[in-house]
Amino acid sequence: MRPHLSRAATRTPLLVTPLVALLAAGTPAASSAQATPQANLQALADSVFAPWNSTHSPGCAVGVSRAGRTLLERGYGMADLAGARAITPTTILESGSVAKQFTATAILLLAADGKLALDDDARKYLPELRDYGRTITVRHLLTHTSGLREWSNLVAWQGWPRGTRVHTNPDMVRLIAAQQGLNYPVGDHYSYTNSGFLLLHAIVERVSGMSFQRFTRERIFAPLGMRNTSWRDDFTRIVPGLAQAYARRGTGWAIDMPGDNVVGAGGLWTTVGDWLLWNEALTKKTLGANVVDSLTRRMRLTSGLEIAYALGVTVTRWRGTTEIAHSGSTAGYSTYLARYPELDNLSIAVMCNAAGAGATAYTRALVAGIAGSALTPVVPNDTVATDQAALRAWRGVYEDGWWHVVTRIDTARGVMSVNGTPIRALRDGTFLLGGVRTRLHVDDKGVRTLRSVTGDGDSVVDTWRAAEVVVPTPADLAAYAGRYRSDEIGNTVTVRVDNGRLYIDQREGRTLGATPTLRDAFEAGGSSLRFTRDAKGRVTALHVGEARMWDFVLTRLPDAPAASRAGARK
């Protein structure tokens, strides 16, 4: 174990400062702190990050400020396992999607300059975009309500997922502009997608006449003193102090670094100290009141439903207090940046270089330890005994109406389970299916559905499709074999049968194995796959469904003549 590393003495001393002093000022949080058993912020952080306090693992950097004072900046674990370099408060890590609020701010600054408006048609600045019937505005791009497909899903179906080839922003703008369809009509739903923020990156450059790097440096980072912050627009650039990112491999660790030059949705190199400066600038509205007010104004869908997402940040209530925050995850980096205006502008920045590290959970553990009884107590789910016999009527295979993902309700380990996780009944008549609150419903025609409410209040409905998973015959599988093409991604995939199983070759060296679920439906590589047929029953298309790419269609090509196939085998 190594000593914890904290910022030099230019910052507030950290060693023995009790929370009651740090939270003083007569606020509700201050009085609650006296009842908090954790009496030392450093000890609290040491406890939260104890799993990373090692010279043999990656770890995290953490920063805490309140009322404009930096209270804590510390590092745990290693920035470079090979070079034996520890994480310190000045270690540079990558932001993941926390970067979105900076891209949003760049747009808002241009709006403040009078150079664009949030409700402008995005095609005013990106004329290469298609007309999808409804106008995609700049605001839709900022709030994940445009319906645009996720760029990383698209390149994966080209056969080149992130990390396998160097992608760039201009490449991705062209790919997004080539899409002939959307996930849903513009504005109808919230569906998280990085594509909108790549288009915003292009808008900033086209409207400002500057590179994105220069504009954000001159208008955001430099004025706020964020000296350690820049964009990963060249992932090969040597950045002194940058932490390597890692992912678990067996019992050890392997390097897991981003390998593309796509930024704007993510790709920000920075430190926890710079993030605390940023949150303080938002609190003081240093860049302008209109900028900050717009940044935190939540979006409304066309239905009128207000969602949690604003412009690059979520604005929610967590344990009775307002939380303005965003999480991030890119390759082996995991991050969370949050501020709590009602807790005397408490800000917490967590940046980790280990894939799957619980940056969100660490942040909230710190808030809970600091704020104590100022937070609403955690109320456990009000579960009741589950009537296993009654639930047996719900056995079967269900398909959701958005992504066509399959859910199975069956008996596992003697109890009714969803995809292997036991179902729990709640007192209000709903159920927890895999941790998701769900209402079981039978309509007047006897159709069984599972209705789940998303975090934004939207509803996802799964409909009963079959009693059991379908097992296709060899003849069934043979009917799917062939070539399927999408001009939207410029790729042709091959569906083939090998040893009784269906495979999809996205390109040479990139193959997915498919597992049957329903008639003409499979799962493969995290995607739902559906084959559709013409009036004569012939398979004509392959549909791909994913959370960020709802119904992507590849059309079956005519089979090659037998002579051509024979020639190809010679």
Neighbours of 404 (CB within 10 A): 21
256: nearest Cα among 353, 342, 328, 190? 353
**Cα dihedral angle (299, 304, 307, 312), rounded to 10 degrees?**
-10
Angstrom distance (rounded) from CA 271 to CA 475: 58
477 in helix, strand or coil? helix
Fill in the DSSP letter of residue 219: I
User: Which 3-state string (H, E, C) describes 84-115?
Assistant: CEECCCCCEEECHHHHHHHHHHHHHHHHHCCC
Ordered alpha helix ranges (H), 458-503: 474-480
Q: Which class does domain 474-569 fall in?
A: mainly beta
pLDDT in tens, 320-372: 999 999 999 999 999 999 999 999 999 999 999 999 999 999 999 999 999 99
62: nearest Cα among 335, 246, 346? 335
The percent of the chain in helix, strand and coil, each rounded to the nearest 5, is 25, 30, 40
Residue 104 contacts residue 296 (beta carbons within 8 Å): no
278's enclosing H/E stretch is helix 272-284
Angstrom distance (rounded) from CA 139 to CA 120: 8
Ordered per-residue pLDDT tens for the chain, 570 residues: 444 444 433 333 332 233 433 333 333 333 333 433 334 899 999 999 999 999 999 999 999 999 999 999 999 999 999 999 999 999 999 999 999 999 999 999 999 999 999 999 999 999 999 999 999 999 999 999 999 999 999 999 999 999 899 999 999 999 999 999 999 999 999 999 999 999 999 999 999 999 999 999 999 999 999 999 999 999 999 999 999 999 999 999 999 999 999 999 999 999 999 999 999 999 999 999 999 999 999 999 999 999 999 999 999 999 999 999 999 999 999 999 999 999 999 999 999 999 999 999 999 999 999 999 899 998 888 899 988 988 988 999 999 989 899 999 998 777 899 888 899 999 999 999 878 889 999 999 999 999 998 777 778 899 999 999 999 999 999 999 999 999 999 999 999 999 999 999 999 999 999 999 999 999 998 899 999 999 999 999 999 999 999 999 999 999 876 545 545 444
pLDDT in tens, 497-519: 999 999 999 999 999 999 999 99
Neighbours of 301 (CB within 10 A): 17
Residue 504 contacts residue 524 (beta carbons within 8 Å): yes
Domain 94-374 sits in CATH at: 3.40.710.10
22: nearest Cα among 70, 62, 63? 70
**Burial of 105 (C-beta count, 10 Å sphere; 0-12/13-18/19+):** buried
For residue 513, the number of C-alpha atoms closer than 13 Å in the C-beta half-sphere is 5
Neighbours of 430 (CB within 10 A): 18
398: nearest Cα among 528, 262, 240? 528
